[in-house]
């Protein structure tokens, strides 16, 4: 007598049997499970099922689920992937009545014209050589199951998408994640190194942004690059306050010509067209576009500090506030050209030990008044009356008998005196 729920026709063939599930007290009886090579012909993303067609007998199986390494019905927990049309799979028909299921995927055999490429691993023909690395006999042939996969290394674990994105856990602890060769990150356990490789890099944060851009649209042979960082003072602010730009800066804030003087800028050609600004730091309270670093239109007017230098080293520093520079050691300033220091108010040079001013061939002091020390009185000026004392015997007067020394009748040893006026000179020195 046959078992309940199992037809006698087609016994052992799950493709034609008429089995169904029964209570555990009624034994079902097992038959051989069948595994067929098949191909995905349709997908249903809403139900997470696929339609497959077997390779040889051309049978269709509709709404079949795909096995995963692990899954659980609690909130979709698990590790899974969704196949695409045309994927080659293995379809299993269980022995005790459950519906068919895709248990895995395989690569079709292909023929390669060049077996020396990375996409051509060792062939499947009988061994004709010995691979010293793998320690086994191998042979090269045009037959491969690589399917475009890179040549593996023992112990590597790959995840790769059709469009080139990938995740590789290399043997040795290296983790490699990316979408292309120029958009990837490597985690290297040696010294705990994290390496980013990119053509264009953007990082957005509530505190600001980082952008490293290569503009191939401007030039394919020599594309300009720009690195920009923006900083918000507070995460709740819409715009940024600080911007640091390096490289080919397309929209520099520019020099405050009205602050430094047009003649100075023109003469030194700082940031000129031939020598563009390549490094710039700007502080402009909440007036810089946070994500891109672009000027909002009033960035220069509201700027509180600017520092920049151009491609030939010309520099520029402007600040709306005070700047204090202090050092515990020597301060040396040298220039092969002129040094110019100007102020709208006082200029103080002080040396607690001594001060030496060496003017070389010419020292020029220009001012309405020159004060030396604590002097309050001016020296004599042109037109001033003066009295000059002359030692005895040096003042000669003509007498009836001829030249004779002028002496005092009361004190012949006292010096004589002569009066006069200053004819030339300047009285702008106080002593």
3-state DSSP assignment of residue 63 = strand
Residue 100 burial (CB count, 10 A): 21
For residue 124, the model assigns a pLDDT of 42
* Neighbour-count burial for 228-246, b at 16+ CB within 10 Å, e otherwise: bbbbbeeeeeebbbbbbbe
Q: How far apart are CA 173 and CA 169, in angstroms?
A: 7
Q: How far apart are CA 185 and CA 194, in angstroms?
A: 7
For residue 136, the model assigns a pLDDT of 53
For residue 364, the model assigns a pLDDT of 84
Of all residues in the chain, the percent with pLDDT exceeding 90 is: 34
The pTM of the full predicted model, rounded to 2 decimals, is 0.63
For residue 1, the model assigns a pLDDT of 42
For residue 61, the model assigns a pLDDT of 95
The closest alpha carbon to 178, from 157, 163, 190, belongs to 163
How high is the mean pLDDT in each 10-residue block of the chain (431 residues)? 48 52 51 89 94 93 94 89 92 86 90 55 46 52 74 87 90 94 94 94 94 85 92 93 91 72 61 83 90 82 88 86 91 88 87 89 80 68 69 61 60 62 62 46
Q: How far apart are CA 298 and CA 46, in angstroms?
A: 52
Spell out where 189-301 has E strands: 193-198, 201-205, 208-214, 225-231, 240-247, 277-288
For residue 331, the model assigns a pLDDT of 92
Q: Which two tokens stand for residue 327?
A: 């050092």
Domain boundaries defined on the chain: 34-105, 113-198, 202-319, 367-404+414-431
Helix (H) or strand (E) holding 299: helix 299-302
The closest alpha carbon to 93, from 3, 162, 147, 33, belongs to 33
- As a CATH number, domain 34-105 is 2.40.50.230
Q: 143 forms bridges with which residues in the sheet?
A: 111
| Cβ neighbours of residue 219 closer than 8 Å, sequence gap 6 or more | none
| Cβ neighbours of residue 147 closer than 8 Å, sequence gap 6 or more | 107, 108, 110
Q: How far apart are CA 272 and CA 265, in angstroms?
A: 9
């Amino acid at each position: 007598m046959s078992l309940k729920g199992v037809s006698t026709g087609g016994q052992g063939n799950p493709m034609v049997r008429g089995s169904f599930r029964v209570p555990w007290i009624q034994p079902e009886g097992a038959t051989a499970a069948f595994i067929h090579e098949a191909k995905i012909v349709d997908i249903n993303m809403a139900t997470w099922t696929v339609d497959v067609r077997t390779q040889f007998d051309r049978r269709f199986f509709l709404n079949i689920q795909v096995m995963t390494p692990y899954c659980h019905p609690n909130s979709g927990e698990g590790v899974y992937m969704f196949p695409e049309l045309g994927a080659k799979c293995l379809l299993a028909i269980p022995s005790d009545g459950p519906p068919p299921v895709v248990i895995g995927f395989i690569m079709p055999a292909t023929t390669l014209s060049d077996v020396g490429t990375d996409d051509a691993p060792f062939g499947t023909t009988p061994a004709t050589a010995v691979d010293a690395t793998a320690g086994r006999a191998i042979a090269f042939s045009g037959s491969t199951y690589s399917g475009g996969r890179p040549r593996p290394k023992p112990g590597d674990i790959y995840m790769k998408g059709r469009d080139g994105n990938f995740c590789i856990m290399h043997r040795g602890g290296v983790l490699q994640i990316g979408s292309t060769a120029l958009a990837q990150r490597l985690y290297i356990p040696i010294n705990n190194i994290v390496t980013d490789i990119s053509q264009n890099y953007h990082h957005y944060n509530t505190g600001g942004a980082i952008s490293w851009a290569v503009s191939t649209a401007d030039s394919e042979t020599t594309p300009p690059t720009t690195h920009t960082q923006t900083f918000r003072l507070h995460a709740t602010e819409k715009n940024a306050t600080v911007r640091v730009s390096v490289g080919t800066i397309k929209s520099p804030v520019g020099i405050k010509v009205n602050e430094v003087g047009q003649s100075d800028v023109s003469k030194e050609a700082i940031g000129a067209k031939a020598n563009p600004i390549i490094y710039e730091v700007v502080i402009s309270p909440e007036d810089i576009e946070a994500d891109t670093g672009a000027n909002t239109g009033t960035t220069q007017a509201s700027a509180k500090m600017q520092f920049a230098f151009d491609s030939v080293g010309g520099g520029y520093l402007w600040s709306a506030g005070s700047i204090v520079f202090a050092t515990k050691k020597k301060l040396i300033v040298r220039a092969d050209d002129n040094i110019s220091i100007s102020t709208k108010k006082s200029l103080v040079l002080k040396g607690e030990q001594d001060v030496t001013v060496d003017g070389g061939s010419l020292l020029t002091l220009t001012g309405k008044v020159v004060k030396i020390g604590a002097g309050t009185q001016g020296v004599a000026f042109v037109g001033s009356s003066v009295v000059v004392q002359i030692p005895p015997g040096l003042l000669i007067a003509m007498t009836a008998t001829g030249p004779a020394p002028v002496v005092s009748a009361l004190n012949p040893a006292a010096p004589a005196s002569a009066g006069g006026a200053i004819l030339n000179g300047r009285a702008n020195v106080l002593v």
